[in-house]
Amino acid sequence: MEFENALELKSVSKAYPGFLLDRISLSLPRGSVMGLIGENGAGKSTLIKLILGLNRPDQGEIRVIGKSREEYEGRDFRYKEQIGVVLDESAFPENLNLIQIERVLANVYHSWDSDCYFSMMERFSLPLKKPIKDFSKGMKMKQAIGAALSHRPRLLVMDEPTSGLDPVARDELLDLFWEFIQKEDHSILVSSHILSDLEKVCDSIAFLHEGRLIFSQEKDALKQRYGIFPCTLEELDRLEKENPACVAGARKNQFGARVLVDLYRAPENIKTEPASLEEMMLLLVRRHGA
Amino acid sequence: MTAVDIIIQNTNKQPIYEQINSQIRDMILSGKLKEGEALPSMRLLAKELRISVITTKRAYEELERGGWIVTITGKGSFVAGADRELLREERLNKVEEALCRAVEASRPLQLSLEDMEEMLRLVYEEE
Amino acid sequence: MKGLLYKDMMNLSGQFKVYLVFILLYGGISIYGGNLGFLTGILGIMSAILPTSAYAYDERAGWDRLALTMPIRREELVACKYLLGWILILIAFLLTVTAQLLIGSDLAESLFVGLILVATTLLYLSVLLPMLFRFGVEMSRVIYVVLLLVPAFAVSAAVLFFTVYRPFSVSKSFFIGTICAFIFLAALINYGSLRLSVKIYRKKEL
């Protein structure tokens, strides 16, 4: 079956005591990489769990690779062969070693590729005969990612895969992302709060804050839309008075301010510098948080 | 495939897709990339340069729009068999524009044509 | 299902070894001494506790969350724990009957003791598994310990009672009939428990 979007969410909501994931709509076009960013507790994991069918949304529609949540959670559960998942903590049985885990997964997935699995484990230099409870956090994460790729999924969904990894390991992981998307119908949804990682590989960014989707946009469009305007406090005051719509967020200090400017609404002569994703997120949170 | 050299400068103010764009254009103009030759796939380019696919896609789309390359779905992108003369023309226009600006800049100093020629020679030989 | 069962077996392999040592030790002593109360108790505890240990391992690792992103149905995850229980109960039954025969009980008596073990363990798991699926390991722990004493006591008491008083001389067929009815009832309850667990687990948020 052909599908336009690897992921499609329409007005998905989920309420918990003290937390509301509020009408999230977004789509991940086939063949692209989306970064899901936001501070801890913003709702990233909740959203990912809803997509994966671990939790049931209160309302809204979720489609994964063209199938609705009801379908792949019911009769079409085999459809999940096409999704590779890495959760924020390794969830593999702790007393098993990598060879035993391979046997479990080979029995679960029809599309299991044993060679792929073992070559991944070798690539990460993971010991095959040690129970994984003796693995470090980074090793567990590598194992989980290798396993998620070994049943040849078309969509990779990862919750904070880079947390707990040192910079070298993060870099290796990013290489895997790029290798994975060499196939045109392969897509990735990855959540992280380490933004420099995502900045490189992602085509689009979805930003969650306190259960709401602040934006979901192509990265290049974001970079075009927002800029940083370093200025004095007076200049900030004037800008806020004359052009309140263009101030997307600001960080003030005693001697001046860094203002996130929405360039579509800003006066033309304003002199800005490019904003990194991280600064964008931090300054936007300031506005929305206030 | 000819070796394609593309160097990305992150500190460059020019957006990355434009950097890719201009470097591929230069290679076509200089004849380093020949008509009909395959370009690296967008996804390979993204992987090797460690940038997102959407960026390489945009670079290729603009190259295609400018008539520099042709993309055939499922096969890849190739250097267009465009009129070489036309491409040369385009470049000549650019040179002319740059020279115009130089002349304009010289006006307030009231430089003579000879002075300008002398300067041009120096610059040219320095390169 | 095969993969899941294999995973539980491997997860439990460390515990299996411990139980094996106990079984051999008490088996030897019991058979030598002619009283199987202890051995039967150990076997009862083993078959009752291992399925719940398997669940505890899964819970601690967060395995269910990952498993449900795989082509595995929720029903399978639940059924696997019951299946594991049945397999262990079968092993315990066979070992008990064999040991009874070894100390010279007749077949009816041996089957009788074995079937009591089967029935009590089935009942125990019937209560405990739905609780685990509903409340998790932490919440179920208290009930877990209290309940655990039930099969151990029941089995040991029954074995003691019947080996000391030897009521079979009175009416063997009556007792066998009663115990068969008991087994049937336990199996029925176990099936109901499985249905209940599935129902609970289908709604569970992970």
Q: What is the pLDDT of residue A290?
A: 43
Distance CA C99, CA A98 (A): 38
Q: How far is A194 from chain B (nearest CA, A)?
A: 17
Cβ within 8 Å, pair A184-B43: yes
In order, the DSSP letters of B6-59 are ----TT-SS-HHHHHHHHHHHHHHTTSS-TTPBPPPHHHHHHHHT--HHHHHHH
- By Cβ distance, the residue of A182, A200, A220 closest to B43 is A182
- Domain chopping of chain B, boundaries: 3-79, 84-126
- The residue that leads in pLDDT, C171 or A220, is A220
Q: What is the pLDDT of residue C77?
A: 93
Architecture of domain B3-79: Orthogonal Bundle (1.10)
Q: What is the pLDDT of residue C67?
A: 93
Report strand pairing: A19-29 vs A67-68: unpaired
Average pLDDT over residues C43-69: 91
Distance CA C125, CA C119 (A): 10
Chain A hits for B46, CB-CB cut-off 8 Å, are 178, 181
The answer to whether residue C30 scores a pLDDT higher than 90 is no
- Which residues 12-71 in chain C show a CB within 8 A of chain A? 12-14, 57-58, 60-63, 65-71
Q: Which residues of chain B are under the pLDDT cut of 50?
A: none
Q: What is the mean pLDDT of chain B?
A: 84
**Residue-wise pLDDT tens digits, B22-55:** 999 888 888 888 888 888 999 999 999 999 999 9
- Domain chopping of chain C, boundaries: 2-203
Q: What is the pLDDT of residue C169?
A: 55
ipTM for the complex shown: 0.86
Average pLDDT over residues C74-88: 94
The confidence band for C152, taking pLDDT boundaries of 50, 70 and 90, is low
- By Cβ distance, the residue of C7, C66, C68 closest to A96 is C7
Cβ within 8 Å, pair A179-B43: no
Average pLDDT over residues C142-150: 70
Q: Which residues of chain A are under the pLDDT cut of 70?
A: 1-2, 90, 288-290
Q: What is the mean pLDDT of chain C?
A: 85
For residue A172, the chain B residue with the least C-alpha distance is B50
**Residue-wise pLDDT tens digits, C14-26:** 999 999 998 888 8
Q: What is the pLDDT of residue C87?
A: 95
**Residue-wise pLDDT tens digits, A86-132:** 998 768 999 999 999 999 999 999 999 999 999 999 999 999 999 99
